[in-house]
Structure 1
Amino acid sequence: MSTTVDPALISNDFLRVRPDWLALRTEAVLEPDLPIVDPHHHLWDHPGNPYLLSDLLADTGSGHSVMATVYVEARSMYRAGGPIELRSLGETEFVNGIAAMSASGAYGPTAACAAIIGNVDLRLGSRARAALEAHVAVSGGRFRGIRNVSAWHPDGIKATSASPPQGLLLDRGFRDGFACLAPLGLTFDAWLMHTQLDEVLDLARAFPDTTIVLDHVGGPVGIGPYVGQREAVFAAWAAAIRALARCPNVNVKLGGLGMHLIGFDFHARPQPPSSQDLASAWKPYIETCIAAFGAGRCMFESNFPVDKGTCSYRVLWNAFKRLTTGFSADEKAALYSGTARKVYRLPG
């Protein structure tokens, strides 16, 4: 079930969101009272593909009980001028404004962007501390950490519109900047491909006091040279996940499997997938992560609007809920909200 991606279905390096196509699949909400903290979504105003507060709330308000969300950097609304190392402050300011709007209560019960993961280029080295402190200062108390995308592949496979250098997590200047995170109580979100998981492992061992969150189950690639190689990729990925799980400072986000990078062909079908379809396809990845990390270090994520190219928000969370049928109440509490609240320091 791997495929190359029709270029007509790509927008801004992601699967294009097609509302009319998504509307072809309707489902009742499963476990509608289960509290959810969505720890990974973006906001942007891309031409022809905007995703702003009203779009987010339409998704979070589609039936599941989403109590709060965590915004993750997307190079959105950077300042147009000023020192380059401070231009990403524009994104934190923008998102903090959205969060303040949501906190007014005028937009419904979901606390949108209750925590913010921004972007500071850690290759600044020790100078990164001042930039990190500037983000904290403009965030209204919501800034929790950063993400530096490090997804790189020698064949030019794209996991994002960003273009990070090879070996970013191993770079000496980057690590000097990374050392600034723990003293400020900040976390690091890692987004890369499964072929780079050894780099996260090395980083986690070098900085055991820094909380690292592995995004999108570690990016098991299913496109490019990996088409038709799902079993081999899975074996290599699973071994790396189990090794990484031995680092107690690492947590993992369960999601992102709707991206074109992963190589499933749901986007190419006449109708969008059902939650049963998704649960069946995603089960090996989700179960491997939970078995390795435990529910207390795993958190389900939407990765919207990126994964919205594959399915609706309602169907996505239904798929996750199908995968946790039979889990204990404590395990569900951790997976759907508790781990996210703990890692990103959100009130319970």
Structure 2
Amino acid sequence: MTVPPFIDTHHHLWDLENNPYPWLTEPIDHFVGDYSAIRKSWLIGDLHEGAKDIPLVKSVHVQAEWDHNADPVGETAWLQSVADDPNSKGMPHAIIGFANLSDPNVEATLERHAQHANWRGIRHMLNWSDDKPNFRFAETGRLMSDAQWREGFKLLGKFDGSFDLQVWPWQLEEAAKLGNDIPEVPMILNHTAMPIGRSPGELREWRKGLEALGTAPNISAKISALGMLDQTWTAESIWPFVLDTIDILGVDRCMFASNFPVDSLFSDYATVWNAYDEITSDFTEEERTKLFRTNAEKYYRI
């Protein structure tokens, strides 16, 4: 089989010469280890170059940790200018920005994001571990249960915005409660729920968390970043995670993504999409079309 026309539902762009990304200019203790190879500008032309031999038709950009001390709408404005350039082929068709949902004034930030045609929602990374400091991407743990944060989350509905959910497996049940408590805000799970552990107990925790998410009808999922979590990955090694996610959540709620350029640390762009193609080779054409393209069009409104 060959890769069908697809939408990359999770990639990043960064212009280190003109925009502020502290984690790229000054390295941090990141759980992936040495990421020096991606500490350089990666622009829309690099995405097109990676996809030159496969049929990328649309893309979704997810916030790339633009300096949190700077105006987060600056990233959305820059990405809109990229999308408006004819050479971009319209990409990114959807922009997921950043806003601190705990900020009492977040409504004004969301309103300004929403003035950009391709803006679709917010990612506020919620990853937290009590034991491992380099597993903490959030300001504190349990933000999803915090009343002030939840008020900011609810405001997404006012602007027809969705929420990109990034958590560890042990946070999935709390995320499911958030989804069920506030069903009016669509949530899109990032990175296959980040199955970082491989012990039987850790895998059970991941599956149990996905099953909990499945109880919230407003949650869909992106299958991505499996290389970031298995740095010597092959199609065979990620196969169970792809198929289990689809089995638990259903073919109508899953879509594929590259997580480039982060996952370029572990493979080239086409290899990721060829793996998804191989893993779903026994699926029907209708199912593959949903996974590779039309679910993304539905959930990201593109």
Give the structure-1-normalised TM-score.
0.77
Q: Secondary structure at the match of 2:91?
A: strand
Aligned to 2:90: 111
The 1:153–1:79 alpha-carbon spacing in structure 2 relative to 1, beyond 3 Å, is: closer
Matches within 5 A, 1:1-348: 31-32=2-3, 34-44=4-14, 45=16, 46-47=24-25, 48-61=39-52, 63-76=53-66, 80=70, 87-101=71-85, 104=86, 106-107=87-88, 110-125=89-104, 127-137=105-115, 139=116, 141-159=117-135, 162-222=137-197, 229-259=198-228, 262=229, 264-266=230-232, 278-346=234-302
Gaps of 5+ in 1: 1-29, 81-86, 223-228, 267-276
Cα distance in 1, alignment partners of residues 207 and 133 from structure 2? 21
Cα distance in 2, alignment partners of residues 334 and 247 from structure 1? 20
Amino acid in the other structure paired with 1:95 = L
Asked if the contact 1:99–1:112 (Cα under 8 Å) also holds between the matched residues in 2, the reply is yes
Q: Secondary structure at the match of 1:251?
A: strand
Amino acid in the other structure paired with 1:206 = D
Aligned to 2:33: none
Cα drift, residue 286 of structure 1:
1.0
Aligned to 1:272: none
Q: Secondary structure at the match of 2:222?
A: strand
Gaps of 5+ in 2: 17-23, 26-38
Kindly provide the CA deviation profile for residues 112-155 of structure 1, in whole angstroms up to 9, marking residues without a partner as x.
11110001111024x32221011111x2x111000000001012
The 1:238–1:209 alpha-carbon spacing in structure 2 relative to 1, beyond 3 Å, is: same
Asked if the contact 1:75–1:88 (Cα under 8 Å) also holds between the matched residues in 2, the reply is no
Q: Secondary structure at the match of 2:131?
A: coil
Amino acid in the other structure paired with 1:96 = Q
Amino acid in the other structure paired with 1:281 = S
Cα distance in 2, alignment partners of residues 69 and 159 from structure 1? 27
Cα distance in 1, alignment partners of residues 207 and 90 from structure 2? 34
Between stretches 141-150 and 213-222, larger displacement belongs to: 213-222
Asked if the contact 2:180–2:215 (Cα under 8 Å) also holds between the matched residues in 1, the reply is no
Aligned residues: 281
The 1:293–1:163 alpha-carbon spacing in structure 2 relative to 1, beyond 3 Å, is: closer
Give the structure-2-normalised TM-score.
0.88
The 1:197–1:330 alpha-carbon spacing in structure 2 relative to 1, beyond 3 Å, is: same
Amino acid in the other structure paired with 2:95 = I
Aligned to 1:18: none
Calculate percent identity across the aligned residue pairs. Answer: 30
4+ runs deviating over 6 angstroms? none
Cα drift, residue 65 of structure 1:
0.4
